[in-house]
């Protein structure tokens, strides 16, 4: 059996095939965001990526494999950005401040960074069970990262003791995740959205 170029996952290669693969992924992310999981047709992806539908099968074994790749990237890019931003913070930064940082970064990724994140968020609930299972493990560690921040902040006395931090955390992430549904430069400046999101987060602050 000869080598197949399929299933390569490194993105650093600048060869023609890799470029086409990237175009394909970006096209798929855009269509996925716009039409949803079931509405995403290979024909539409191909048209946007400027090739013919059967060419997709040179890069992916199936429609599902392509979609899974898009969703996984969307998810990982959010996670990577936030983790990176948190890592920049000096030791001893208060947990509430770390949460503010995570809120800002997550929001900026979701609003700025291509369709990948939006595609992942918007379609997670409609993916077939088999795909969700694969993706959920990545998702889980991201959720735990947030959860730890909130729990530490609360046991530290930075966050009100009487709020359910799990609910608060999920509400906040939800607010951020939903923002692509309504945001455009006409509605509000991105910095104003960030400021508003942080203001809401500050509702959790413990006050004397």
Partner DNA sequence: GTCTATATTATGATAGAC
Partner DNA sequence: GTCTATCATAATATAGAC
Residues that bind its own copies (CB under 8 A): 34-40, 122-126, 160, 162-164, 166-168, 170-179, 181-183, 187-189, 192-193, 195-197, 199-205
CB 180 within 8 A of CB 110: yes
Strand partners, 205: 159
Tell me the Ramachandran region of residue 42: left when phi exceeds 0, alpha when psi lies from -120 to 50, beta otherwise. alpha
State which residue, 52 or 112, has the beta carbon closest to DNA.
Answer: 52
State which residue, 13 or 144, has the beta carbon closest to its own copies.
Answer: 144
- Residue 113 binds: one of DNA, its own copies, none (C-beta under 5 to 8 A by kind): none
174 binding DNA? (CB under 7 A)? no
Q: CA–CA separation, 67 vs 104, rounded Å?
A: 27
Of 26, 48, 57, 190, the one binding DNA (CB under 7 A) is 57
- Residue 54 binds: one of DNA, its own copies, none (C-beta under 5 to 8 A by kind): DNA
Max distance between CA atoms of the chain, in angstroms, equals: 70
The number of beta carbons lying within 10 Å of the beta carbon of residue 193 is 20
Task: Report, in Å, the least distance between residue 75 CB and DNA.
Answer: 22
Cα distances (Å, whole numbers) of residue 52 to 10, 25, 49? 24, 14, 9
5 binding DNA? (CB under 7 A)? yes
**SS3 call for 13:** coil
Of 17, 36, 174, 203, the one binding DNA (CB under 7 A) is 17
Sequential DSSP letters for 91-156: TT--HHHHHHHHHHHHHHHHHHSHHHHHHHHHHGGGS-HHHHHHHHHHHHHHHHHHHHHHHHHHHT
- Residue 70 binds: one of DNA, its own copies, none (C-beta under 5 to 8 A by kind): none
Of 32, 42, 127, 173, the one binding DNA (CB under 7 A) is 42
Of 58, 152, 188, 200, the one binding DNA (CB under 7 A) is 58
Task: Report, in Å, the least distance between residue 32 CB and DNA.
Answer: 11
51 binding DNA? (CB under 7 A)? yes
Q: Quick one: tokens of 71? A: 């969703």
Question: For binding to DNA (CB under 7 A), which residues are involved?
Answer: 5, 15-17, 20, 40-43, 46, 51-55, 57-58, 61-64
């Amino acid at each position: 059996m000869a080598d197949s170029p399929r299933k390569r996952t490194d993105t650093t290669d600048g060869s023609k095939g890799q470029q086409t693969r990237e175009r394909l992924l970006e096209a798929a992310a855009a269509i996925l965001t716009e039409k949803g999981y079931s509405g995403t047709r290979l024909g539409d992806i191909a048209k946007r990526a400027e090739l013919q539908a059967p060419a997709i099968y040179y890069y992916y074994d199936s429609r599902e494999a392509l979609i899974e790749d898009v969703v996984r990237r969307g998810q990982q890019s959010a996670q990577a950005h936030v983790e990176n931003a948190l890592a920049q913070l000096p030791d001893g930064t208060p947990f509430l401040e770390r949460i503010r940082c995570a809120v800002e970064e997550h929001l900026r990724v979701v609003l700025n960074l291509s369709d990948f994140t939006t595609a992942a968020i918007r379609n997670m609930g409609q993916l077939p069970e088999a795909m969700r299972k694969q993706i959920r493990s990545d998702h889980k560690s991201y959720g735990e990262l947030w959860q730890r921040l909130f729990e530490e902040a609360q046991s530290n006395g930075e966050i009100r003791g009487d709020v359910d931090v799990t609910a608060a955390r999920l509400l906040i992430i939800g607010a951020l995740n939903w923002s692509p549904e309504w945001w455009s430069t006409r509605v509000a400046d991105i910095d104003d959205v960030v400021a508003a999101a942080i203001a809401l987060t500050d509702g959790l602050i413990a006050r004397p």
